[in-house]
Homo-oligomer: A and B are copies of this chain.
Amino acid sequence: MNTWNETLSIFALGGVYEIGKNMYGIQYGDEIVLIDCGSKFPDESYLGIDLIIPDVSYLLENQEKVRALIVTHGHEDHIGGIPYFLRQLNVPVYGTRLTLGLIELKLKEHNLLHQSTLISIDRDSTISLGSLTISFFQTNHSIPDCLGVVFETKAGSIVHTGDFKFDLTPVHKQSPDLHRMAEIGQKGVLALLSESTNAERPGFTPSEKHVGDRLLEAFSKAQQKIFVSTFASNVYRLQQVIDAAEATNRKLALLGRSMINVVKIASEQGYLHIPEDMLVEIEEVSELDPARVAVLCTGSQGEPMAALSRLSTSGYRHVKVERGDTVILSSSPIPGNERNVARIVDNLFIMGANVIYGSGTGMHVSGHGFQEELKLMLTLMKPKYLIPIHGEYRMLHQHRLLAESVGVDFESIFIVNNGDVVDIHDGVAVQERKIPAGNTLVDGLGIGDVGNGILRDRKHLSEDGILVIVVTRSKTDGKILSGPDLISRGFIHAPESEGLLEEATRIASEVITNLQEANVSQWNRLKQGMRESIGKFVYAKTKRRPMILPIIMDV
């Protein structure tokens, strides 16, 4: 029997009802511990926005309680928000070596490394923070040294899985810690936060090892240069490319900043084993026998500025894709990137490359467990309560169905949105309250200074452009001294629209004259009148609605 008074609260600041920007919190008495602080890339509705990070205002309001940020692994959706967060709240960050290596890179770029506290942990670490004891278990995923987190409290244990799959033939023998998970489950789990990314996909993820077999096949067949594009952070994949290059006696060059960074960190830390003399500079590639060289590059998501995209168009001075070369996309496009990736594949085929792409080729496996693996986690952990995390609503929903199928009650499953709090008191969980949560938008140097108003204006401008109307009036008698002048951008092509703009100018003059005769002198009424009349006229003539911006200068 447990006896305690404190309420144990669990909340999400990012990562539910969405993919990306993961950030979760456990609050027990006066302690808040955070798990992950990710970012996500904006979809096309966030015009001009560079990055989306969690709104952390709840944490700023409770900063004296925030004790630690634990990072499960080094992917952007788990670490991308850290520099922005630490600038506001300097808490110690815990992670495995590779995770911290990737965080350090970010903090250096933001000039924050010197003032941050990074604490290295491993699967066997234990952290005591007040009344919380935190321990870990190793999972496997598409980056090494991923952790699940166990919070032991007097109220019971909370488990956060991080990202996971169950790869039973893993690269580098980084097996999922099945025995430890079984032990945790056996001791009793009050609430499980488990990832839902692939909750829609039946079956069991194929092992990363399969990709190695396919890579070796392709490397063996290729007669000329080979380019392999993948996520730089997928160190296992990089290792398998290195292994295939070694087996087929090829040198290897790296292309793309993040590829170079990750290979450096991962090999320094011993996660990546590169045969001596295998690596060559990218400038040397053109001098080598094409049959004896491969290039490992970034850009597998079709990012327009990354290496693969550039290779598919202009290429680089020292390395180009040539007729007969092999290009392997060892990746699967994230929703929204399909068209960019397809355009690159088209261009590479046009250049005469043999492109190996698409799901049928076995060149990629997911790092997130499918339905059977989610059920396996649930079965190992036997939680009283489940909070599905990491996923858009339908994924959380499917995860709930899976949980029900292995015996978790419908009432014990909490599908929460960002900001929802699950409070557990006397062993009973309720979801009744909310804390502030949402998207903070990063645009250039601005963090949070672009809101819905600005986005609405950008959307408006993007569709039909702008029509600026400038008039100069006399301060003394209101007489028009100059204008109305009409200037448009993004609205209509100038020569063809001459007549239209002339007539609109006439209408603007009329509006001003009429309103002035009616003794209306306030700018706002005048501007409103111009917006309406010209808007109506322009729409009737073009069926477009440019933003109309009247400017009245009184001199």
Binding site for B on A (CB under 8 A): 17, 43-44, 47-48, 200, 202, 335-336, 338-339, 342, 345-347, 349-350, 355, 357-358, 360, 392-394, 397, 443-446, 449-451, 453-454, 457-466, 468, 470, 472, 481-483, 485, 487, 489-493, 496-497, 541-544, 547, 549, 551, 553-555
Contacts and interface: CB of A to CB of B under 8 A. Distances in A.
A43 B459 CA distance: 15
B551 A463 contact: no
Q: Is the interface of A mostly helix, strand, loop or mixed?
A: mixed
A279 to B, nearest CB: 32
Contact of A454 (B200, B347, B454, B492): B492
B483 A553 contact: yes
A393 B312 CA distance: 13
Contacts of A472: 472, 482, 553, 555
A472 B197 CA distance: 58
A481 B394 contact: no
**Copies per assembly:** 2
B342 A339 contact: no
Contacts of A461: 458, 461-462, 465-466, 489-490
Nearest to A200: B358
A466 B463 contact: no
Contacts of A491: 454
A195 to B, nearest CB: 17
10 contacts: A47-B490, A346-B392, A346-B394, A443-B464, A450-B493, A451-B493, A454-B490, A461-B489, A482-B555, A489-B549
Given A338-B338, A393-B349, A490-B458, A445 B543 contact: yes
Contact of A547 (B444, B481, B489, B497): B489
B465 A454 contact: yes
A141 to B, nearest CB: 23
Contacts of A444: 542-544
